[in-house]
Copies of this chain bind each other. A is one copy, B any other.
Amino acid sequence: MVKVGIVGGTGYTGAELLRLLAAHPNADVVAITSRGEKGVAVAKLYPNLRGIVDLDFVAPDIDMLASCDLVFFATPHGVAQSTVPAIMATGTKVIDLSADFRIRDIAVWEQWYGQAHAAPELVENAVYGLPEYNRSAIAGADLVACPGCYPTAVQLGFMPMLQAGCVDTADLIANSASGVSGAGRQASVANLLPEVSDSFKAYAASGHRHQPEIEQGLTDMASKSVNLTFVPHLLPINRGIHATLYANLTDPSVDVQALFEQAYADEPFVDVLPAGSHPETRSVRGSNYCRIAVHRPGNGRKVVVLVVEDNLTKGASGQAIQCMNLMFDLPENAGLSAPGMVP
């Protein structure tokens, strides 16, 4: 059994880790921290876990965390970078679900997150936790930077075409939409039900923090620079990300459907739908699957890729557990095989 600690357990990704790990045959959560809820039973904050998770929140403690085999950080950006070094020093592995170790260019990170980075030396050793791109590196990693929710969907949707080199990388568009849980579990007016329910809007159309992370990944995949227009939108749903991607084929003879089917043929969590399909976010609700459909309207050079994932699962905690499985040589889908919940 992998002995697991979770830092920052009161947010949605922390709760999702607990929900998923409760069904994991090879992992055991031994500690979950929260400064604010110290001493409170997890099941009091998350009644769905009553009778299933028997832990109380504890204050973060380096020794206790260092006694784990693996610590997940489900904290806001800026937290992991100051604590991770001490934990890793003892040989404990770390998977960070925040943005702290995702961007290799420290200056870019500091610009978008508005603060100095506290552990830049760790960034270059951190492995970007997208198994479909980085599987073997993840398996050998001590520190994994789990991708953001939007970046996972957008990268998985563009990857086969970028690796095949069949699209114009100077004009990629990612029109994406996320459920409100993507905004986290902080008190706010903006995400009250009466503010977002029965409505829809774009946000950050002129620049979003996930943009440099996505561009870094797409550039890696394409092995050349890319130009991405990324417009996120807010969906009045709990969970789910939908990405509608647009690219121009440089070679119109490519069979894009076949390209995607082959690229993901062996992937346990990427499901390429038959031609003509339209994936629904609910088909992956609560599951670690990512579903993709490819369209080519009028059989022209424009390719439209539709991608769905659950922002809390494949977009965060599920993917983190998939990385854990790789790091500890467990079956990659251990604890992650539940289907999406419909309806």
Cross-chain contact B341 with A48 (CB below 8 angstroms): yes
Q: Is A198 an interface residue (CB 8 A)?
A: yes
User: A263-294: which have CB < 8 Å to B?
Assistant: 271, 273, 276, 278-287, 289, 291, 293
Q: Is A116 an interface residue (CB 8 A)?
A: no
Cross-chain contact A186 with B188 (CB below 8 angstroms): no
The one of B205, B229, B240, B341 that contacts A278, using a Cβ cutoff of 8 Å: B205
Cross-chain contact A280 with B175 (CB below 8 angstroms): no
Which residues of chain B come closer than 8 Å to A285, judged between CB atoms? 48, 198-199, 341
Which residues of chain B come closer than 8 Å to A343, judged between CB atoms? 12, 15, 181, 194-195, 197, 238-239, 312
Q: Nearest chain B CB to A42's CB is how many angstroms away?
A: 11
Q: Nearest chain B CB to A306's CB is how many angstroms away?
A: 5
Contact segment of A135-143, A151-159, A297-305, A324-332: A297-305
Q: Nearest chain B CB to A266's CB is how many angstroms away?
A: 12
Q: Is A22 an interface residue (CB 8 A)?
A: yes
Q: Is A9 an interface residue (CB 8 A)?
A: no
The one of B198, B200, B286 that contacts A197, using a Cβ cutoff of 8 Å: B198
Q: Nearest chain B CB to A36's CB is how many angstroms away?
A: 11
Which residues of chain B come closer than 8 Å to A15, judged between CB atoms? 342-343
In the bound complex, CA of A171 to CA of B229 (Å): 14
The one of B180, B236, B304 that contacts A229, using a Cβ cutoff of 8 Å: B304
Which residues of chain B come closer than 8 Å to A194, judged between CB atoms? 12, 179-181, 185, 191, 238-239, 343
Known: A53-B339, A200-B242. 20 other contacts (CB 8 A): A22-B339, A48-B341, A48-B342, A173-B246, A180-B193, A185-B195, A193-B238, A195-B343, A197-B197, A197-B343, A199-B285, A200-B235, A201-B279, A202-B244, A205-B293, A206-B276, A236-B236, A236-B237, A238-B343, A338-B338
Task: List 3 tightest A-B contacts by C-beta distance, closest first.
Answer: A48-B340, A199-B282, A194-B343
